[in-house]
Structure 1
């Protein structure tokens, strides 16, 4: 009975990392460059992500400073930030752009919490799908007489343990994000 769970464990980690990446982009009332770094800017006739045109720095808990490398890109960056779905108004100060994030309202916090839970459910579905793929592989090995019935159920217990740990990991990521939203 030799079954390699490494691909399944790796996939669980990928799912958790995907959830982390998706949640990082949600505004929590604190300034973070991730909020704006992927905004597309129309620059010299092409769309370029902001992080390729400027340095993005945190000034304080609610303020980001965008320092374009080319002063001619200030206006296109300002226009892109205004038209983005972030919901902030950039303030141009000579060759820099400041973005002051407003406080989150209670209603917005509730909307974001709901969105966090929707993303959690999406990742749980992906986790269940991976568990099912691995389970079908184990069953196929039993049908091919590579595993005994006892081996199959032992491996099923191990698979359930991996899936349970994956769910706990997803829940801990969401709990951390919820704590940030309540901040």
Structure 2
């Protein structure tokens, strides 16, 4: 947003950039969390949150082996080190994704059964919880921004008029970021509920 009021006020320029960056990061984090949410089709991103105990270090699954989807109903994990097959299998079983991995001694095949109506609703409920957490995060960033604006006004670094315009802009920025997340969430919900 190049026509930013706050970015044009020297006392608030850095504050504005930091707040905008933090809000963008919150939206990006929200998007990242959604990629691992399960939809009706198998996807390698479903396993992004899985960590495997690799020599005492919790390691992302895609760093200990190759993960791919040979078809829409299964995921295959081929570890680079077959000695950790059991560890991968345990990590998958104990995740809250509800998978039943099959270990054949070389690879792990994960059938991804079609989701039941009940399971779809659970995933949507989780999606809404994640959305609310990130909305709150963005609102907390807004609060920090408002505090910085009010402090600048109190310290006479900006005029009352600049304070009012900056607070309005802070609210507008917050609304835009939350709207972005809500649109992403709506698309994801439609994907989840699609049979």
- Both proteins in one fold, TM over 0.5: yes
Aligned length: 182
Moved more, 85-94 or 61-70: 85-94
Residue 103 of structure 2 is matched in structure 1 by 92
Q: In the alignment, is residue 132 of structure 1 matched against residue 143 of structure 2? A: yes
Deviation at 1:72, TM superposition (A): 2.9
Deviation at 1:41, TM superposition (A): 3.3
Residue 151 of structure 1 is matched in structure 2 by 162
Residue 107 of structure 1 is matched in structure 2 by 118
Aligned-residue CA RMSD in angstroms?
1.9
Separation in structure 1 between the aligned mates of residue 111 and residue 124 of structure 2, nearest angstrom: 22
Work out whether residues 36 and 49 of structure 2, in 8 Å CA contact, stay in contact via their aligned partners in 1: no
CA 1:137–1:69: 2 relative to 1, 3 Å: same
5 Å-filtered alignment, 1:49-88, equals 49=59, 50-88=61-99
Deviation at 1:105, TM superposition (A): 0.8
Work out whether residues 37 and 56 of structure 1, in 8 Å CA contact, stay in contact via their aligned partners in 2: no
Separation in structure 1 between the aligned mates of residue 131 and residue 94 of structure 2, nearest angstrom: 28
Q: In the alignment, is residue 19 of structure 1 matched against residue 30 of structure 2? A: yes
Question: Cα deviation per residue 1:13-64 (whole Å; 9 max; x = unaligned)?
Answer: 11101111222222112222232344343455x2443323211011111211
Structure 1 stretches (4+) deviating beyond 6 angstroms?
A: none
Where does structure 2 lack aligned partners over 5 or more consecutive residues? 1-7
Residue 19 of structure 2 is matched in structure 1 by 8
SS in 1 for 2:184: helix
Moved more, 159-168 or 80-89: 80-89
Separation in structure 2 between the aligned mates of residue 113 and residue 84 of structure 1, nearest angstrom: 18
Moved more, 33-42 or 67-76: 33-42
CA 1:167–1:79: 2 relative to 1, 3 Å: closer
Residue 39 of structure 1 is matched in structure 2 by 50
TM-score, normalised by the number of residues in structure 2: 0.84
